[in-house]
Structure 1
């Protein structure tokens, strides 16, 4: 019986994409971008570039920032190459400013901001958004997860004031004070 040996490169794009969808978009972009022309064509597709989660999430609902090495590669190489395709970014509080300053995002209309704390005055309203009128007007979907501590839970009124002042075209807001406590969500229909 003859040996059948199929290389990964022999697979049709559809099967290859099916396999890659088992990974996160972060893993696909970080690991495969720049490997070959074929992989670049597949990885540059909207399946892997529209919605990026640039944070680490552990099974117990804990969220952590990416390592500096991974952030460096994304901010210096990957994001500038795909910035025009990104529609949604999920970011951890420690890296929000760095990622938003890495490039401009002309198609970005949604942000997920995680591990927001009161003492940060929250970073989603730092100079990078306040000084970028286009970004402020682009964001219509916003998800905010506040860390679960006494001080942060009491800052909701402050954060709401900032949100409605900064994001002038906001249509959807989901504000979750923690994974355990109550959440607030609203949607303004057109």
Structure 2
């Protein structure tokens, strides 16, 4: 019998997207960008870039680890900023994410685990 091993790169884009949709968009972007041209193209697709949740949720809201957050701020968000239509953020990283780049097509913003004073400061200050 022939060796029937299949590599990830053998799968068609449609199947890869179906598999990747089972992950959090933040994980897809963080893990695939920079791997190769084909995976970059898949990760930059609007399926994974228009509605971003930049925290983890497992009964509680957990911020992204600092190395992951830094890569998003410095590398990923500046490349996809024009595709982002909705951001879900938690309080400890929201200022860094919002100041990372301009989001010209942002239509919605979900803020989680934030106190009123911080929200008022951010949106009434000249930061934005």
Counterpart in the other structure of 2:36 = 36
> Does 1:15 find its partner at 2:12?
no
Counterpart in the other structure of 1:126 = 122
2:93 alignment partner, SS class: helix
Q: Deviations over 1:23-61 (max 9, x none)?
A: 000000000111000001111100000000001211x2x
Report if aligned partners of 1:100, 1:128 keep a CA contact under 8 Å in 2: no
Counterpart in the other structure of 2:76 = 78
Counterpart in the other structure of 1:103 = 101
Superposition deviation, residue 122 in structure 1: 2.8
Between structure 1 and structure 2, the one with the greater Rg is 1
Given the two structures, how large is their TM-score scaled by the length of structure 1? 0.64
Given the two structures, how large is their TM-score scaled by the length of structure 2? 0.93
Change (3 A) 1:55 1:81: same
Superposition deviation, residue 2 in structure 1: 1.1
Q: Deviations over 1:58-107 (max 9, x none)?
A: 1x2x1121111111000000000100000000000111110000000011
Counterpart in the other structure of 1:55 = 55
Counterpart in the other structure of 1:87 = 85
- Unpaired runs of 5+ in structure 1? 133-190
Superposition deviation, residue 128 in structure 1: 8.0
Report if aligned partners of 1:83, 1:105 keep a CA contact under 8 Å in 2: yes
> Does 1:68 find its partner at 2:66?
yes
Change (3 A) 1:129 1:47: farther
